[in-house]
Amino acid sequence: MPAVLFIIVMLISNAALAHSDEEASQLNTDMRLPERHLRVGVLANHGVMQGKLRWQPMMDYLSERVPGANFEVVPLGFEDMSQQMLNHDIQFMITNPGQYFNLSSNFPLSWLATMKSRKHQGTTFAIGATIIVRADSDIYTLNDLRGKSIVASGPQALGGYQAAVGLLHKMGYSPEQYFGDLRFLGFPLEPIVYQVRDKTVEAAITPFCTLEEMIDSGLVKKEDFRVIHPTLPKGYDCLVSTQLYPNWSFAAAETVPTQITRAITQALYDLEPGDEAAISAKTMGWTAPVSQLKVIKLFKELQLKTPPPPLYQTVLKWMERNKEWGGALLLLFLISTVYHLWLEYKFRQKSEFLIDTERQLQDKALQLERLQSTAILGEIGSGLAHELNQPIAAITQYSEGGMMHLNSLGKADAETYEILAKINAQSLRAGAVVHRIRGLLKRRETSAEMINFDEVMNNSLVLFSAEFKRHSVQAKINTHGTPFQLKGDEVGLSQVIANIIKNSLDAFGGDVKDSSDGDKRVSIWVNYRVDSVEVLFFDNGPGLQKSAHELMASFCSTKRDGLGLGLAICKDVISQHDGQFTIQNCSELAKEQELPWQQGCAVKIVLPKAIDH
């Protein structure tokens, strides 16, 4: 029996030892952490360089105490810390409770430890605001600060601004409209004190003990400054204007593995006050996170909240966590955008089509109106041509009868006979014009025959000899090249030439606005080319009063009593001759070729040597 008991005891002992070895093996496995480079963001309240000098020994200490981890200090401002935490550029942060609460509303964070101050007997409540002025200032109370110029580090600074605003709120003041000029200078903190010393501003809100540290460093003199609403809590070394809040704390992001946060927390708790890392960081060590009730109450009273991160950052973070849904939504957004752009393109296309259609309808309506006017004019013109044909025929017959009578009498009255011959010639010409007008109105084919263009031009000018004298107009024809006969309608071309010259005379006579003064001149250039003749009419009158397109449209005139048909008929006649008819101001044509003058109107006619039809 004793032997059996001995065997049972041995078996239990071996099992216990085996279990103990298994736990030890598991613990060693847990401590074999993967190699990681971890970045710790700290508030650079004294600048980036000072921040690195202060906290790098603490990072070296953690790198030694946490296996498989290498820590780097990253001094940052408030906004940069928020941005880098959002981008996962930092995994830890050492900051004040106000910044922690601002960040924790957007990023999952966890407190690991609260720092014990190296001053004030190692207290964990070492954040407050001290309001300072110059020693010779007339500001003695908080009420005296109303309307004054003041500087602070930043709106997210608990000790550098928010604590002072909480004090004013508790005293019954409205902080938003309390100061006359409030500016935030950011980090480092020393320039805030210098602004008061140099009388740039009248007061400054500084973090607790900032003034005393600068005095101890020899940066400023104690006798140059005064503290507003000063208190010296029992056991503390510095004056403060507000109540005190919990000290800086060490916080970790949710992405950090639990094994590492547990190892860091243990290392912080084990830090001795005499360690180089503690001395450099100006701390007596770290303790468990203390209650943040005071900070919560302050934020609740003042509703101090930092603005939320930009929308695009929130969207990017959500997509990072929900990649599948984010990809689907992004694809849907792209498809919707492309579809919207396509709809907008089609809508614009339809709109342009509708506008163009409306414009065409308006043009058609105008054309219809002009056609109606032309039809009415055609009927009137046909009637007039019919009625005028009889008296013209009578004049022709009378003139021919007179000539025959003179011949029968045998009287050689050459002057009378010449007059009757001219009357007969002009009556025949008038009859031809009437017949042509009837042909134009009825759209008859042009009667083409070989003509001497120089003779047509001279005959047309003879008709205006009296008009040229009456208006004191100098008319001159210049012919270049070898003249040749054209195939065309003599009456129609005479009508065109007469209409152009009549328009020039009307311009000189004052029938249009801005008639020219001084010498009145009309110049005609006739240029014979190989297969065409070019005729240029110039006058130095006032020029065109409207665009050429408008003036050549039917029923458009700048004359008081004009019908607006002359240029339209001219264009139609030249078109029937397969020619070109253009009008413009001399100033425009002078850019292409040399002209005798710059003012006035220029009409250009180009006629081919033979008509195709």
- Using the CB atoms, write b or e for 293-310: b if 16+ within 10 Å: ebbeebbeeeebebeebe
**pLDDT, tens digit, for every residue of 160-218?**
888 888 888 888 887 767 888 889 988 888 999 999 999 999 999 999 999 998 999 99
Domain boundary, last residue among 441, 467, 496: 441
> Is the model's pLDDT at 298 over the cut of 50?
yes
Residue 13 lies in a domain: no
- DSSP character at residue 161: I
Same domain, 458 and 437: no
Q: What is the CATH number of the domain that holds 148?
A: 3.40.190.10
Q: What is the pLDDT of residue 555?
A: 55
Same domain, 604 and 560: yes
Residue 433 lies in a domain: yes
Q: What is the pLDDT of residue 200?
A: 92
The range of the structural domain enclosing residue 231 comes to 129-243
Residue 154 lies in a domain: yes
Task: Determine the residue type at 94.
Answer: I
What's the average model confidence in pLDDT over 21-35?
Answer: 46
- pTM comes to 0.46
Same domain, 273 and 339: no
Same domain, 587 and 461: yes
**pLDDT, tens digit, for every residue of 454-513?**
888 887 777 777 788 888 888 888 888 888 888 888 878 888 888 888 888 887 765 434
Domain boundary, last residue among 388, 415, 441: 441
C-alpha span between 86 and 96 (Å, rounded): 18
Residue 334 lies in a domain: yes
Which of 269, 108, 318, 135 has the alpha carbon at shortest distance from 211?
135
**Where does 413-539 show beta strands of DSSP type E?**
449-452, 473-480, 485-488, 520-528, 532-539
Same domain, 464 and 551: yes
DSSP track, 316-374: HHHHHH-HHHHHHHHHHHHHHHHHHHHHHHHHHHHHHHHHHHHHHHHHHHHHHHHHHHH
Residue 378 lies in a domain: yes
C-alpha span between 142 and 171 (Å, rounded): 9
The runs of H, that is alpha helices, within 442-480 are 453-462, 465-470
> Is the model's pLDDT at 39 over the cut of 90?
yes
pLDDT confidence band for 109 (50 / 70 / 90): confident
Which of 173, 284, 197, 299 has the alpha carbon at shortest distance from 206?
197
Are 247 and 286 spatial neighbours (Cβ–Cβ below 8 Å)? no
pLDDT confidence band for 267 (50 / 70 / 90): very high
What's the average model confidence in pLDDT over 41-46?
Answer: 88
Q: Which residue has the tokens 């009927």?
A: 379
Same domain, 391 and 494: no
Same domain, 347 and 404: yes
> Is the model's pLDDT at 231 over the cut of 50?
yes
Same domain, 490 and 577: yes
Residue 535 lies in a domain: yes
149 class by beta-carbon count within 10 Å (0-12 exposed, 13-18 middle, 19+ buried): middle
Same domain, 366 and 341: yes
Which of 187, 178, 182 has the alpha carbon at shortest distance from 157?
187
Q: What is the pLDDT of residue 29?
A: 42
